[in-house]
């Protein structure tokens, strides 16, 4: 049984991590969620559940405005060939979430650490960042240092990449 929103909050509390959560109508896309920006401080993200041709799994967590070239992303994240989106079934079995609810908090359900988390440096360096708490009817704000602590506690130390640095990758 995948972790629930309550399980997530209990896990964060056990780690001594403080968060704030705002409930809202279901949001499925970055565009839909942009209407809440004035009510929720901090950076917001886009989250991509991906797999490569050998079946390796990646969760790319980037600042919402980042432009990600899926044709070249594999070169930056160490994937075997181009990446494609993981199926909804695989997402639900490993992250415990449905499409529209993808979040780094989902790695709480990936107990065998099968998924490689790729985190945008812009998010890692922000004061506060926002993600769905396993459901798309709420948004949880967490300090970026606490997000890193959460990821480490779940066995998912992230690969940090700068998705906004055009000189490092002119096609992204």
Q: Where do the domains of the chain lie?
A: 5-29+40-159
pLDDT band at 100 (very low <50, low <70, confident <90, very high): confident
Instruction: Give the pLDDT confidence score for residue 40 in this predicted structure.
Output: 84
pLDDT, tens only, 48-99: 999 999 999 999 999 998 999 999 999 999 999 999 999 999 999 999 999 8
pLDDT band at 38 (very low <50, low <70, confident <90, very high): low
CATH architecture assignment, domain 5-29+40-159:
Alpha-Beta Complex (3.90)
The sign of the torsion formed by the CA atoms of 26, 134, 156, 18 equals positive
Instruction: Give the pLDDT confidence score for residue 26 in this predicted structure.
Output: 76
Asked if the model's pLDDT at residue 18 lies above 90, the reply is: yes
Q: Cα angle vertex 11, ends 8, 14, to 5°?
A: 150
DSSP percent split of the chain into helix, strand, coil, nearest 5: 30, 25, 45
pLDDT, tens only, 112-170: 999 999 999 999 999 999 999 999 999 999 999 999 999 999 999 999 999 876 434 44
Instruction: Give the pLDDT confidence score for residue 169 in this predicted structure.
Output: 42
What is the pTM assigned to this prediction? 0.91
Six token digits for residue 130? 């926002």
Asked if the model's pLDDT at residue 35 lies above 70, the reply is: no
């Amino acid at each position: 049984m995948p972790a629930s929103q309550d399980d997530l909050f209990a896990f964060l509390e056990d780690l001594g991590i403080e968060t704030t959560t705002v409930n809202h109508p279901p949001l499925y896309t970055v565009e839909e969620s942009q209407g809440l920006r004035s009510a929720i401080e901090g950076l917001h993200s886009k989250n991509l559940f991906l797999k490569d041709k050998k079946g390796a799994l990646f969760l790319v967590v980037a600042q919402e405005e980042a432009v990600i070239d899926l044709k070249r992303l594999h070169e930056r994240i160490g994937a075997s060939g181009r990446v494609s989106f993981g199926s909804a079934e695989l997402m639900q079995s490993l992250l415990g979430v449905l499409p529209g609810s993808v979040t780094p908090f989902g790695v709480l359900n990936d107990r065998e650490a099968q998924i490689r988390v790729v985190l945008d440096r812009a998010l890692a360096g922000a004061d506060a960042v926002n993600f769905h708490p396993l459901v798309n009817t709420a948004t949880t704000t967490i300090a970026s240092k606490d997000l890193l602590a959460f990821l480490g506690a779940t066995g998912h130390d992230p690969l940090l990449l700068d998705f906004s640095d055009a000189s490092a990758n002119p096609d992204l």
